[in-house]
Structure 1
Amino acid sequence: MPWSLKYALRRLFAKWQSLATMIVGVLLAAIVGSNAPLYTSAIAQVGWQQALPDQNPADLQMYIRTGIAPIDFEDFGAAWSELDSVVTAEAESIFAPFGDWFGGWISWAEMADHAIIAGVSRPRPPEIRLAYYDDLRDYIEVTEGEWVSDEGNTVSALISEANAEFLGISVGDVLTLQQQGWDTSLVFDVHIVGIITPKDTDSPYWFAPNPLGSPSAPILLTTANNLVAATQFTPTPTVQIGWRSLFWHGRLPYTSLPELKHVLDNFEPTLRRTLESVDLPFGPPVFTTGISPIIEGYIADVDLLNIPFGLLLLQLGVLVIFFLFIITALAWRAARREVALLQSRGAQNQQVLRLHALETFIICAIAALVAPFITRTVLAVLIPLLTGIESIPLDVTPTVFGYSVGTSIIAWVVLLLTLLPVLQLPLIAAGGSATRSRTRTWWQRYYLDWVLLIIGLVALVQLTQSQSLTTSGTTQSDPLLLIAPALLFVAFSSVLLRFFPFLVRLISGYAQRRRGAVGVLASWQVSREPLQYGQITFLLALAIGIGWFAISYQATLTNNQQEQAMYRTGSDVRIEVAPTADVITLEQTLRENEVIESVSEITRVLLRNVSINRSAGRGGREAGELLAVDTTALQSAQTWNSASDWFPPPLADDSEYGKPLPDNTAAVGVWLRIDTQQWINFGQFTVENYPQPYILSELGTVLLKLRNADGNLVDIEMTPDRAALDTFVEELEASQEEESQDFQPPTNPDDFEPRVFDYPNEGWLYFEAALPDISSWRIAGLTFLLRDQFPGGISETLISGWQAIDAEGQSIPLDIYAGWDLGNETSVVPPGIFISEEAPPIDDTPIMAFQWPTPDNSSFISFFLWADYPEIGTIEVGSPTTVLEEDDIIGIPVTIGRSFAELNDLSVGQRFRLSLGSFALWLEVHSIVDLFPTLYPETPYIIIDRDSLLYQFERIGYREGLQEEFWLTLYDPAQAEEVVSSLPSDTIANVTTVESVRSQFDTDITSLGVIGLLYLSFLIGVTLSLISLITYLNLSAQARLSQFRVLLAMGMPSTQLTLMLILEQMLVLITALILGALIGQFMVSQVLPPLAVSAAGGSAVPPFRVQTDVVLLAQYLLVIVAGIVLVLVLQAIWLRGLSLGSNQRYEEE
């Protein structure tokens, strides 16, 4: 063995305690290196396990099926067994190397559908199948009866609880089955011996198609022998046989996913080639799986983590390497006498360097081999604590060892580089008393910190301007921008530490002018060694700054994820109502729920085109949203807007609109008539309007609109009194002898001359509507819905005889003929509603009338009449040919999003015309906002008062494309699922809760990984700082023994010596705290928002509000202070135990 190697080994065994800090530094460097792939794998594994529940279970498994006909084999069971053994053996040989991930290979067989001839009381029962599944007994419980057996000559089977309940089957029943359609099929009986239920419905065993079947496609489960025996009754139909995988993806390390994908991609062609050698007639196998695309997509997502994780780990590695520079420089400084002794005995520098190279190489080699296992153990403990996942599989791959060896080599080079200055020292400087510390490090002397600061500030400007970690607007991270935090941390710390020597000189000068020697000696010591103390301060400041940043990062991201969930939901729960649901009944149900604090009514309208000004806006059509909200919803919206008057004024109380009805009104009656154009023969044919009561009685629906005291509208269908008309029709038909009369509308009015009849009451029909049991009602309007075909021309509608009817049947005439408006006024003949001079059905009652043109063969016509309907905004129906005067336009105040304003060059106070299909609303910009719950900047949007919008829609009878929603605020948000489950499922189209949105963020592996790395950097930084401090204090104490000896001999108490050391470290600690806090807060305020945006997925709405968890921050600072206090206590104990004699002996030990 060479003497240098022997000397290195003996020195390691003899002086390992003095080299402990160096060993720890090298080991930490190797751990950081091995942590790069292992940490990424651990975070990817966490994300993989959290993403699995969101996938379709069937996509995560493999399903194979083929078919064989029993009639083709003399022994169907043997043929099935041979084919099954080939496929199972192939699958096990390919998937078994993946260990616990491969949970098994389930063979199965299902016979064709059989009709249930007897044994079921349910009318027209569905067809049923007899099936066998491997390992079924391990996954089910027999809740009634017993397990199926092969004994006896009968075919026995099991059935699931759900299917048994649906079919009305119980244990002991006998089902008579027949496979219809084949002459060879025979009737046979199946005895039900047990009812079963799954032990764990979440097991991958039950992925679709479910082995238990469903009520519409039930399955009887039996043994393989029973199924083979049953095939003798149906030999011709094909029996489906196949295989189902049982993959446990949570047990597979992420590092094995690429290999698994490769195996899965090749499994199908491999198995097909294997089956070609099987000499059996079977159908081509069908493979169904979605595993490979899922794995491929997830691997692509994880690949995006390499850059941010790599750069953060690089920052951590730089921190450790810097620690190595400090600690080895101190260690070699302590070994100056040993090096000088070797040089004085004739040893050359190369020989001394070779000696220590072997020594440090052994340290680095051991660290490179041990570090991966230490890292895996630490991550296996920490990851479950941070994520709640009990365990994650982590493999130590060659890549991990490669990173560990690489960082160990870097550490080895650092150790040798720090030895070179010691070798160049003259022998007279070996004792250290003749030299003083420099004031600046080598990178400060070459102004590298200023270069890094400039580069970091340029990247910071890019960050803050774009508010994104990308340079192209995509979600792909830009490495130059991501490295900005690391550069700024190091550069700011180094630049500010340039003032450290000047600061301690000022403090030293101040202490010299004060009484007492403790302050003078403490400040003098720090000012005499500014480089060493500055490096320790630098390391501690970095740790504090990173910790400050990590705490703020987590608090900001956690707070914003909660705000994003609230923003997307609008409140605690957001319910989208199904189109067929009764909105009024659902609202009443919600308001009666005691756990709901408030209910916000929302109407959402999807706009196909929001480019209202083609010349000013961008070209093309762009979709958007019109959101109508009530005042309750504004309570949630105020969170995202600082101004209080941004929302447009709500609609004035409309509960007084309409015609009031007398108290105790039980019903409302009215006389109606419709006249259409007819050809009348007065010697010559002429066109005249003539009553057509069948239009109202047969083809029309009349709705009475009522408004209650709360302003809510209710439509009540009015019923016509057909007695007189029916009698007239019957008498008229009876009087016709030669040709029958058709009282339906003519299919083609031009083909024949219509008949004209003297209808009773001159064609008037009386309509009546019973009112709901509420005392205060107002007539708000009258709606005509007319169907089928009408002749072309001008028709006329007449209204008269309004009356209120009390509970005793007494009628009161209503003088409500003034103040009516037509909702679709542009579709009628001017002047709209007028007072007709026709004979009224009741004496002394006016007649309201309006005329309307109809094109030939119109399929549907509707009219909406409103009572005392004030105009709150201009509505244009159809395609108006006239341009409205500026003074004639009334715009409803609305709030618009910034994107909508920019798209159409709108500003506050401008009016604009919003087209909604067959009509247009005039609106006025009241305010422009950036945020409103459930609305996002990339989609142009308009916010309007809900009552105002519905008021306008009611005016024209528009109800198309409206999505009704309810935003619920709960007393206890944890009861959200309970509230949703209490509602009928057919009334809900979709439900969004804050918790459901928050759960999506839990799978954000980028945020989870970045937070973990920041905390890891903080903990390692603090640890390194304390180790550096301990090392320097020990080495400094040994070097200052002569100083302590003199001070003690001069009568200075050991307590003052302790106080002197405390003051020295207080200078370091206070400087590091101030410096770390400044750097951390600057990074929080400038870098954190865009960095958090990238971590959250490229964009965040609402934007990030920087948060700092003061309590957690105080706890971390206490940890740092406690560590330094512990070091000082140990140092104080050592000093108090010193005596003059022990001081003299210490150097010789």
Structure 2
Amino acid sequence: RYFLDLLMQVLIGLVWWQILSRGSFLVRSLGAGELDIDYSLLIGPVLLLLALGLLVLRVFPWVVAILARVSEGLGPAWLMQGLRHVSRDPIVPGTLVVLLMVATALGVIGSAFSSTLERSQRDRALYMAGSDLRIEHNGDRTPTPLLGLSDVAEEADGTDTAVEVTRIRGSRLIAGFSTETISILAVDTEDFEDVAWHRPDFANGKSLEGLMSDIAPGPSTTTNGHGEGIVLPQDTRALSLWVRPGRPDFNSQLLARLQDSQGFYFDMPIGGLGFNGWRRFEAEITPLPTSGRRFSGGRPIPLPEVTPPFTLLALRVAARGPGFTEPGVLFWGGVAAVTPTGERVLSDFQTLEGWHAIEDYAKPGLYAWESSESVVLDGAGRSAAFSWAPGSFSLRGIRAGGPEMPIPALVSEEILDIAEAEVGDTLNISISSTTLPISVVAVTDYFPTLDPRREPFLVLDLRTLTHYSNMHGKQRAMGRPG
């Protein structure tokens, strides 16, 4: 019957239209909103084969009858009679043709499915590992520059390239006091593309090389690699500062944060602030021992030797006790590098140019960096005043350099939904006790080793994250860049 053919064609057409319009065999339930398989759509290929079989059975007698008429004057009698017989009774030969067609279709589908399944399993394994081989270790829980492990790995036989990454957890305040946990992956953007596995469809057709270029740090002018700080003379042995606290504070001390030629961040003590009036400090450049990092035996971890030239990154006020509970102010009269041939003035603080308060992005407005003409050093026309209010947990002080720019980052789509943001916006992300500004430069649906179904993620440059963490966090990151 013709209506059976038409009914089957209409049915397969509807199913095929649903598959094309939805783009997959998955549907989202109205109740829980979870993705489930629509089994009715899975019978689409079966219905297609059945419809084609009925169509062949309907068309096959017509084709054979036409061939029989053509062969009347051209072919032998046995061929003409055979074609006429088949056209009058097409069930058996037509069934064989349909079976042959189905067998061929199943063979093609099987071979295609096998190769697709094999590639899918391989892609899944590479996505979870991120590269041909991944080694996890419990290194530093704070953002850390390269530990040199990649250099050691590259010396092994059969290793072409190795890179280091840091995986940490962050959070973003979304409403009230609730936060959303974010997975943060900091990578070495210089060599990551040579090692990691990636597909362009993860980021709307953009290559991994292009993504790494988006988050790579820009050209730098100083040894720290980020265009910040003041490079001290090669033979600098000490720093000298003129300061005056608003009132004596025996709970506070002055520290300087520096970076050596190998990229190692360290603090050096300058002196306490429990005095009145102006005072000149002169402190040798000696790394301050870190009090929180010890072996199981309780022995402090020895700090590596620092090598000049040094870069002065920041001058900060630290509390010896539980923290700052009252507002305060510190006046600055000058800072100089002490060398064997004398002092080299780095800044006389007659202007604020080249210095900025280290902003607390979690609580902006707690720090102020202003020029003062009421409290000045003898012979000077003005000084600089750094004032603060209590309530901040970030580093408290001033930094040398230009205006601070947010960290470029790749983010998952869910982060934009949570923050109600778009590409080009700046977001504040909390990492441990530090809040850092993040600039959304690109969106990626997937990134190797990160599962967007579990939690949203963002990808940063490792050196940039380490530098910002050292500029804003009280606890400096250990290690050296590789």
Q: CA deviation at 1:786?
A: 2.0
Change (3 A) 1:540 1:447: farther
Q: CA deviation at 1:584?
A: 5.5
User: Deviations along 1:292-348, whole A, 9 cap, x unmatched?
Assistant: xxxxxxxxxxxxxxxxxxxxxxxxxxxxxxxxxxxxxxxxxxxxxxxxxxxxxxxxx
- 1:897·1:942 contact (CA, 8 Å) conserved in 2? yes
RMSD of the alignment, in Å? Answer: 4.7
- 2:260·2:308 contact (CA, 8 Å) conserved in 1? no
In structure 1, give the amino acid aligned to 2:255.
Answer: V
- 1:800·1:847 contact (CA, 8 Å) conserved in 2? no
- 1:501·1:527 contact (CA, 8 Å) conserved in 2? yes
In structure 2, give the amino acid aligned to 1:872.
Answer: M
User: Deviations along 1:934-959, whole A, 9 cap, x unmatched?
Assistant: 44454444445555555554443377
| 1:636-785 matches, cutoff 5 A | 636-639=197-200, 640-641=202-203, 642-644=205-207, 648=214, 650-656=216-222, 657=227, 658-663=229-234, 665=235, 667-671=237-241, 673=243, 675-677=245-247, 690=248, 695=251, 700=253, 702-706=255-259, 708=261, 712=263, 714-719=264-269, 763-770=279-286, 772=305, 774=307, 776-785=309-318
User: Match for residue 601 of structure 1?
Assistant: 165
Change (3 A) 1:914 1:661: closer
- 1:788·1:860 contact (CA, 8 Å) conserved in 2? no
Of residues 558, 568, 572 in structure 1, which corresponds to 2:118? 558
Change (3 A) 1:582 1:537: same
Change (3 A) 1:586 1:903: closer
- 1:786·1:860 contact (CA, 8 Å) conserved in 2? no
SS of match in other structure, 1:931: coil
In structure 1, give the amino acid aligned to 2:152.
Answer: E
Change (3 A) 1:628 1:588: closer
User: Match for residue 354 of structure 2?
Assistant: 819
Q: CA deviation at 1:543?
A: 1.7
- 1:625·1:941 contact (CA, 8 Å) conserved in 2? yes
User: Deviations along 1:723-757, whole A, 9 cap, x unmatched?
Assistant: xxxxxxxxxxxxxxxxxxxxx98xxxxxxxxxx78
- 1:672·1:767 contact (CA, 8 Å) conserved in 2? no
Equivalents in 1 of 2:206, 2:161: separation in Å? 25
Change (3 A) 1:659 1:499: same
Q: CA deviation at 1:537?
A: 1.6
Change (3 A) 1:915 1:523: same
Gaps of 5+ in 2: 288-304
SS of match in other structure, 2:285: strand
From the CA coordinates, give the structure whose radius of gyration is larger: 1
- 2:254·2:270 contact (CA, 8 Å) conserved in 1? no
Q: Percent identity?
A: 20
Equivalents in 2 of 1:545, 1:605: separation in Å? 50
- 1:673·1:763 contact (CA, 8 Å) conserved in 2? yes
User: Match for residue 501 of structure 1?
Assistant: 61
Change (3 A) 1:797 1:637: farther
Equivalents in 2 of 1:908, 1:853: separation in Å? 33
- 1:895·1:925 contact (CA, 8 Å) conserved in 2? yes
Equivalents in 2 of 1:914, 1:589: separation in Å? 31
Equivalents in 1 of 2:137, 2:380: separation in Å? 45
Equivalents in 2 of 1:923, 1:837: separation in Å? 38
User: Match for residue 445 of structure 2?
Assistant: 930
In structure 1, give the amino acid aligned to 2:62.
Answer: F
User: Deviations along 1:675-717, whole A, 9 cap, x unmatched?
Assistant: 252xxxxxxxxxxxx5x6x55xxx64724321647xx4x2223
TM-score (norm 2): 0.69
- 1:500·1:530 contact (CA, 8 Å) conserved in 2? yes
Q: CA deviation at 1:535?
A: 0.7
Gaps of 5+ in 1: 1-444, 615-619, 678-689, 723-743, 746-755, 874-891, 965-1149
Change (3 A) 1:721 1:654: same
SS of match in other structure, 2:25: coil
SS of match in other structure, 1:813: strand
| 1:460-471 matches, cutoff 5 A | 460-464=16-20, 465=22, 467-469=24-26
SS of match in other structure, 1:562: helix
- 1:457·1:484 contact (CA, 8 Å) conserved in 2? no
Q: CA deviation at 1:588?
A: 0.3
In structure 2, give the amino acid aligned to 1:787.
Answer: R
Q: CA deviation at 1:764?
A: 3.9
SS of match in other structure, 1:467: coil
Question: Between Structure 1 and Structure 2, which shows a larger proportion of helix residues?
Answer: 1
Equivalents in 2 of 1:453, 1:833: separation in Å? 86
Change (3 A) 1:602 1:528: farther
Equivalents in 1 of 2:329, 2:269: separation in Å? 22
Equivalents in 2 of 1:578, 1:450: separation in Å? 66
Q: CA deviation at 1:555?
A: 1.8
SS of match in other structure, 1:572: coil
Equivalents in 1 of 2:372, 2:130: separation in Å? 44
In structure 2, give the amino acid aligned to 1:838.
Answer: L
- 1:802 equivalent to 2:346? Answer no
User: Deviations along 1:969-1006, whole A, 9 cap, x unmatched?
Assistant: xxxxxxxxxxxxxxxxxxxxxxxxxxxxxxxxxxxxxx
User: Match for residue 396 of structure 2?
Assistant: 863
Equivalents in 2 of 1:701, 1:927: separation in Å? 40
Change (3 A) 1:623 1:866: same
SS of match in other structure, 1:559: helix
TM-score (norm 1): 0.32
Q: CA deviation at 1:481?
A: 3.7
Change (3 A) 1:897 1:861: closer
Question: Between Structure 1 and Structure 2, which shows a larger proportion of strand residues?
Answer: 2
User: Match for residue 413 of structure 2?
Assistant: 898
- 1:535 equivalent to 2:98? Answer no
Equivalents in 1 of 2:283, 2:232: separation in Å? 17
| 1:296-307 matches, cutoff 5 A | none
Equivalents in 2 of 1:903, 1:571: separation in Å? 30
Change (3 A) 1:821 1:832: farther
Change (3 A) 1:536 1:804: farther
- 1:956 equivalent to 2:461? Answer no
User: Deviations along 1:433-453, whole A, 9 cap, x unmatched?
Assistant: xxxxxxxxxxxx375455445
Equivalents in 2 of 1:507, 1:627: separation in Å? 69
| 1:979-1018 matches, cutoff 5 A | none
Change (3 A) 1:830 1:673: closer
SS of match in other structure, 1:542: helix
Q: CA deviation at 1:625?
A: 4.4
The count of aligned residue pairs is 429
- 2:261·2:309 contact (CA, 8 Å) conserved in 1? yes
The answer to which of 779-788 and 525-534 deviates more is 525-534
In structure 2, give the amino acid aligned to 1:534.
Answer: G
SS of match in other structure, 2:447: coil
Change (3 A) 1:945 1:833: farther
User: Match for residue 136 of structure 1?
Assistant: none
SS of match in other structure, 2:386: strand
Equivalents in 2 of 1:835, 1:511: separation in Å? 116
Change (3 A) 1:476 1:650: closer
- 1:787·1:861 contact (CA, 8 Å) conserved in 2? no
Q: CA deviation at 1:456?
A: 4.5
| 1:822-901 matches, cutoff 5 A | 822-824=357-359, 826-831=365-370, 837-839=376-378, 849-853=384-388, 862-873=395-406, 894-901=409-416
Equivalents in 2 of 1:448, 1:834: separation in Å? 97
Change (3 A) 1:795 1:912: closer
